[in-house]
Structure 1
Amino acid sequence: MNIPSKKILVLSPFESWPLSQGSIVRTHFMATHLLKSNSIWFVFRKSAVTHTLPTQQDITNSRNRFAQLFNPFLFARLWRLVRREHISLIIVSQIWSGWHGVLLKLCTGRPLLFDDHNVEYLRLRRMGSIVWPLVALLEFIVCRAADAIVCVSDVDKGHLVKNLHVTDDKVTVLVNGANVNQLLKSPVPVDVIRAKLGLVAGERMVLFFGSLQHRPNAQAARIILQEIAPRLLRSNPEAKIVIAGLGRVSFLSKQRDDIPENVNFVGFVDDVTAVIKSADLVIVPLTAGSGTRYKIIESIACGRRVISTSIGAEGLQQHILGEALIICDDWDAFAQQIAENLTKEREVPPTPAFMQTYDWDVIWQNLPLPD
């Protein structure tokens, strides 16, 4: 019988399910990997829907967003848990759980691993948020307290080393990925999915997906409405842009202008893989954010071309993604690239190099677990 090698406490400020945003996806696959040879306690934000991994022991935090930063009742419970169960490692998955992790380390002496999904202060600064200096301070404190740090790209590592004064050897780059083999094998009734999304026979489907409650995604959706959709309507009237993701009602309630006739807002979708595979093309017109974009990796793993801004594709390895990723920052050229690529074969099979670099099973094999 295999005995778990470590007892690990994983702290996440997000829900555990559904896999509706990148940070939830990354934490889910990290926990799945850890469970192969460890026993874990998983702390996450309470939600209406949960999904328990085998042998995983769940602890839910309040739904209150400020409780994710610090909840004294949760902290007391976790402090007792660490001592009672002899937890050997604490993992902070995303910066907003940082205070819980830092204080648990100080109070129990257990080693701390910090998985920094984004350089969060940089993302907020790019968005024009006034709180970015406070977030930079929090990120600095968590990085200093951590025994090891994981980030998602060499670009992010450079920001941590240069701007937060983290030592180079403390940081390991583990890129964002996808469950490549499963995505490739998933059968999809394309005509049925397209009909459910409001498309009619003969229309081409351009997809943007992501939670509209996330400000960079909301900004990208506005760019689609104001810049991309009108241009595409003139050049390709048979093309329909589908925008999928949480927050549709709230987003649309704030729009003062009419929605272009070639745009469909479909809200949250249960099976984003099916929607990606039903698309002819995926677009990522992001102008803010940091880290790397799951939507790009997931789309390429599904065999679809992606047209993105340089911000959207930041940190990704273009030489590995090849013709599957097209980068463009001018909106006239962006719309032109959409028009040109809609004439090409929509299937772009992932290369062996992509599968070796961006598959979750490969990525998490290199996760450092400090003693």
Structure 2
Amino acid sequence: MYPPKNGAEVRLWKTAQKLSTLGDLWVAAPPGEQRLDGDMEPIDVTSPLFNHQPVWDELWTGLFAVSARHPLRQPLANAMVEPVERTTVSFDVVVCEFPQVTDAAAELSTSHDAKLLLNKHNADYEILDGYLRERSVPSVVRRRLVENFREFEANAIETADVTVFQSEEDRKRFDVGAATDTFVIPNGCDYRSISHGGDPEAAARECGIPGDGFTCVFLGSYDYAPNRRAARLIIDDLAPALPDVDFLLLGRNPPAASGDNVYAPGYVADLAGALHLADAALCPLTTGSGTKLKMLDYFAAELPVISTTVGTQGLSVEPGREALVCDDAEGFVGGIERLRSSPELRRRLGESGREIAAEHSWDSLMAEYDAVIEALRD
């Protein structure tokens, strides 16, 4: 979680910073590259179950095809609960941030007689369904896996005292009853720092990009499957179709890119400077839910954006006003050509998008957790 290097980690870090102002905060997670910065106490979770992503992610998810109560759930819960209980601290609220730790969070809230706060980053069953469809998984297996996973998510929402969704669309997907306390707190952006622009010249050197041609940027962590698929569309379809356009893939663990007009430097510290290298931003996501941090970062940099419908979820985006919206590679190619030929369209989209970013500053969004904590007190 610290230092944050992708959208989910930024959300986690901003939430943790806010919660640490409301009480004493312990963070149970695998140890990161640096110690936590701020008024937080780390609880290092060192179990191999959490150290190997294929185990706690792919295998854990895949076993829902067998049963909603599959055999890996309890060992994973134990691996999280045991180091927390060794602290001998009595907790008032247990905050659950990822599906894989839901069972542990529920156990800890019960043993500590604590309230359970569930932060739903996504409707994960929707992401899973799209992932399986693209891989042509047999429909009987896909339906069973997705139905079991949705049941698991719905049960977690019912168990929690309060659930925070990132979009109204996600809340509606679970048909939450009136008896369940829910809030919608979308993702945000560091509007002020990104809008100031960073150091584009230094970012150009770090990214190894000439910076003198028309440049399109895509931002994402590529260990997340929807981002990997979006990057492949850029590398395999958009870059060959537009050989005189440069494509910049920013973010952790970038895919291999063979095209001369594709640059994939990986994680860059000066995000603002790197974004200001670009003339346009892309969000070709085909699956996902919640609000997309990358979209808000693009808008804060006043970049004209071309996005799929999925990319605009959770945001008040009117196609043609704040972004060009299309859902296939041909549409993205046409959109890039439109932007390249029209400085006026780029300016207009950038100015409209900036207004959305200004309404989604992290400071104002995280202030809404005051009401969440008050709901947990009742």
Structure 1 residues 324 and 353, CA gap change in structure 2 (3 angstroms): closer
**Would you say the 8 A contact 2:91–2:112 is kept in 1?**
no
In the TM superposition, 1:8-27 aligns within 5 A as 16-27=1-12
User: Who is 1:332 aligned against?
Assistant: 330
Structure 1 residues 98 and 56, CA gap change in structure 2 (3 angstroms): same
User: Who is 2:216 aligned against?
Assistant: 206
Q: Distance in 1 between matches of 2:187 and 2:211?
A: 35
Q: Distance in 2 between matches of 1:167 and 1:123?
A: 26
Query: Aligned match of 2:165 in 128, 141, 151?
Result: 151
Q: Does 1:123 align with 2:127?
A: yes
Q: Distance in 2 between matches of 1:134 and 1:43?
A: 27
SS in structure 1 of the partner of residue 281 of structure 2:
strand
User: Who is 2:63 aligned against?
Assistant: none
Query: Aligned match of 1:142 in 156, 178, 187?
Result: 156
User: Who is 2:40 aligned against?
Assistant: 56
**CA displacement at 1:197 relative to structure 2:** 2.3
User: Who is 2:292 aligned against?
Assistant: 293
User: Who is 1:8 aligned against?
Assistant: none
Query: Aligned match of 2:252 in 233, 243, 246?
Result: 246
SS in structure 2 of the partner of residue 85 of structure 1:
coil
Structure 1 residues 344 and 168, CA gap change in structure 2 (3 angstroms): farther
SS in structure 2 of the partner of residue 175 of structure 1:
coil
SS in structure 2 of the partner of residue 150 of structure 1:
strand
Structure 1 residues 140 and 332, CA gap change in structure 2 (3 angstroms): same
Query: Aligned match of 1:361 in 357, 360, 363?
Result: 363
**CA displacement at 1:79 relative to structure 2:** 3.4
User: Who is 1:269 aligned against?
Assistant: 268
**Would you say the 8 A contact 1:149–1:172 is kept in 2?**
yes
Q: Distance in 2 between matches of 1:123 and 1:111?
A: 28
CA offset digits 1:110-158 (Å, max 9, x no partner): 1101000001111111111744334323212211110010011111111
Question: TM-score, normalised to structure 2's length?
Answer: 0.81
**Would you say the 8 A contact 1:307–1:326 is kept in 2?**
yes
Q: Indicate the larger mover: 59-68 or 289-298.
A: 59-68
Structure 1 segments (4+ residues) deviating >6 Å: none
User: Who is 2:70 aligned against?
Assistant: none
User: Who is 1:10 aligned against?
Assistant: none
Q: Please, which runs of 5 or more residues in structure 2 have no aligned partner?
A: 58-72
**CA displacement at 1:322 relative to structure 2:** 7.8
**Would you say the 8 A contact 2:203–2:270 is kept in 1?**
no
Q: Please, which runs of 5 or more residues in structure 1 have no aligned partner?
A: 1-15, 253-257
**CA displacement at 1:353 relative to structure 2:** 5.1
Structure 1 residues 146 and 349, CA gap change in structure 2 (3 angstroms): same
Question: TM-score, normalised to structure 1's length?
Answer: 0.82
**Would you say the 8 A contact 2:189–2:357 is kept in 1?**
no
User: Who is 2:188 aligned against?
Assistant: 177
**CA displacement at 1:222 relative to structure 2:** 1.4
SS in structure 2 of the partner of residue 127 of structure 1:
helix
Q: Distance in 2 between matches of 1:17 and 1:206?
A: 28
**Would you say the 8 A contact 1:286–1:309 is kept in 2?**
yes
SS in structure 1 of the partner of residue 5 of structure 2:
coil
Q: Distance in 2 between matches of 1:351 and 1:133?
A: 37
In the TM superposition, 1:306-321 aligns within 5 A as 306-318=305-317
**CA displacement at 1:97 relative to structure 2:** 1.8
**CA displacement at 1:167 relative to structure 2:** 4.0
Q: Distance in 2 between matches of 1:300 and 1:197?
A: 21
**CA displacement at 1:100 relative to structure 2:** 1.1
Q: Distance in 2 between matches of 1:79 and 1:67?
A: 21
RMSD between aligned alpha carbons? Answer: 2.6
- Aligned AA (2:334): Q
What is the number of residues matched between the two proteins? 337
User: Who is 2:67 aligned against?
Assistant: none
Among all aligned residue pairs of Structure 1 and Structure 2, give the percentage whose two residues are the same amino acid: 21
- Aligned AA (1:138): F
SS in structure 2 of the partner of residue 318 of structure 1:
coil
Q: Distance in 1 between matches of 2:36 and 2:302?
A: 29
Structure 1 residues 167 and 330, CA gap change in structure 2 (3 angstroms): same
SS in structure 2 of the partner of residue 278 of structure 1:
coil
**CA displacement at 1:365 relative to structure 2:** 1.5
Q: Distance in 2 between matches of 1:93 and 1:73?
A: 16
User: Who is 1:108 aligned against?
Assistant: 112
Q: Indicate the larger mover: 145-154 or 96-105.
A: 96-105
**CA displacement at 1:279 relative to structure 2:** 1.4
Structure 1 residues 88 and 356, CA gap change in structure 2 (3 angstroms): farther
User: Who is 1:192 aligned against?
Assistant: 202
Q: Does 1:29 align with 2:14?
A: yes
Q: Distance in 1 between matches of 2:210 and 2:56?
A: 46
Q: Indicate the larger mover: 337-346 or 206-215.
A: 337-346
Q: Distance in 1 between matches of 2:215 and 2:226?
A: 22
Q: Distance in 2 between matches of 1:18 and 1:247?
A: 16
CA offset digits 1:39-63 (Å, max 9, x no partner): 211112223x125232211112122
